Amino acid sequence: MTKARDIATQGGSTLVLKQDFTAASQIDILNCFSSTYTNYEMTVNLTAASSGVNYSLFQFLSGTTPSTSSYYFGYNGYTSSASNFNAAGSNAASAYFMEYNSGGIGQTFSKVTFQQPNKSTSTSFSTDIGWDSGTAIVSRRGGGGHLVNASYTGIRIITNAGTITGTVRIYGIRD
C-alpha cells in the first residue's frame, strides 16, 4: 500500500510560479525553468481578450532574451462540434499554442507540457487548448519542438494583435 507521505516523493507536480496579467500583448515569465525539474507544465487561463486577438505564440527565454531562431515546429489538430481542421508549421520564430474567441464569449484554457527546457538540448512540447467559440465548443491538441540546443530559464507569450487578460501558472513535474 502506498501511503500519502510516499506519494509526495513519487511524481506529481509542484507550482513554481503564478503570474496574473492584464491587457497585455506580451507576457514574460522569467526564472520559471531550472535544473530543479526536468519537465514543466504551463497552464494559461484567459478571462478577456481585446477585439482582433485570435491566437498566441510562445518563445523560450534565456534571461530576458527570446530565442527567435527559425527552428520552432509544430502540428495542431482541431476539432469542434462544428468542424475538423489540421495545421502544421515549421521553421518559425515562435510556436503557436493558444487560440481565442475574439468575440468575448466564454473563456480559453491552454495547457503546454515542456520536455527539458532547462537542458542544453532541443525541447519538445505538447499542447491542449479548449474554448467556447460562441457557436461551438472547440478542442485543439498538438505538439512540436524547438530544435536549438540551448538551456532556457523562461518563456514569452505574444498575441497576434491586441491584448489578453488572465493567469499563467508554471508547474515543475517530478520524475
For the chain, list the domains and their CATH numbers: 13-131+139-173 (2.60.120)
**pLDDT tens digits, one per residue of 149-175:** 999 999 999 988 888 899 999 999 988
* Percent of residues, the chain, with pLDDT higher than 90: 38
Instruction: Check residue 49 and give its pLDDT.
Output: 80
pTM over the 0.85 mark: no
Q: pLDDT tens-digit profile of 25-58?
A: 999 999 999 999 999 999 998 888 887 777 788 8
pLDDT at residue 60 in the model? 92
153 touches 20 (CB < 8 A): no
pLDDT tens-digit series, residues 104-153: 545 678 899 999 999 999 999 888 887 776 777 777 788 888 888 999 99
